[in-house]
A and B are shown apart, each in its own frame.
Chain A
Amino acid sequence: QVTLKESGPALVKPTQTLTLTCTFSGLSLRTAGMRVNWIRQPPGKALEWLAHIDWDDDKFYSTSLKTRLTISKDTSKNQVVLTMTNMDPVDTATYYCSRTTATPWETAMATGYYYYMDVWGKGTTVTVSS
């Protein structure tokens, strides 16, 4: 059974750096094709993808937040860490981590993968306030 759990501070002050940890079990980031994401949801708003990291250490960031985000992994600890600098009250949100699974497809002309987030953590709520 795959599980993911987010952890981090419940409260941070404006301008501080937020560090969140996703600890998982039942999957390994040493496995080819594995991917872990960070997503957030501000109160009353939509889900927003922030970043993901792949098994081979490829990393991708939200265009609008990439200057503030760093994602990393510790395969020995089964953890993925996200840091977000210069926190602001608008960053108040519930932060989730999730696993992406890829399912291959093939036609006579092409091949590819469908990607979807099939396992999520329950989230951790972060409030930014002085």
Chain B
Amino acid sequence: DIQLTQSPSSLSASIGDRITITCRASESIGTYLNWYQHKSGKAPKLLIYAASSLQSGVPSRFSGSGSGTDFTLTISSLQPEDFATYFCQQSYNTQGVTFGPGTKVDIK
């Protein structure tokens, strides 16, 4: 299976901050990388698909980049509703989907 790692595992930030989360794949996955936001007790929410495509309805302060093995999710100006855990997920191997371990974003 393709393994995904994320860094940092957690971060503290303030409203208005720009934050970047990194996801690294154990082998090249092209741009078959998706990002999700997850809040406790709620359904995970798709933010970015195909590494950099913004899902419909997701605010433009979210952006994704990268290809191959290294990817980033950036929030340009952190809002109160953005405090959550963020997961990356590879869809290169559709018969063996894997998720990253998650990055928890909380209030400084």
Contacts and interface: CB of A to CB of B under 8 A. Distances in A.
A binds B: yes
Interface of A: 37, 39, 45-49, 52, 60, 62-63, 96, 98, 103, 105, 114-118, 120-123
Nearest to B31: A114
A59 B53 CA distance: 28
B100 A122 contact: no
Nearest to A97: B43
Nearest to A115: B91
Contacts, number: 66
Interface centre among A103, A117, A121 (most CB of B within 10 A): A117
Interface residues of B, number: 28
Interface of B: 1, 31-32, 34, 36, 38, 41-46, 49-50, 53, 55, 87, 89, 91, 94-102
A45 B85 CA distance: 11
Given A47-B36, A116-B34, A118-B46, 18 more contacts: A45-B101, A46-B87, A46-B100, A46-B102, A47-B44, A47-B89, A47-B99, A49-B97, A60-B96, A63-B96, A114-B32, A114-B91, A115-B91, A116-B49, A117-B36, A117-B89, A120-B45, A122-B43
Describe A's contact surface by its main secondary structure: strand
Contact of B97 (A37, A114, A120): A37
Contacts of B97: 37, 49, 52
Contacts of A46: 87, 99-102
B46 A117 contact: yes
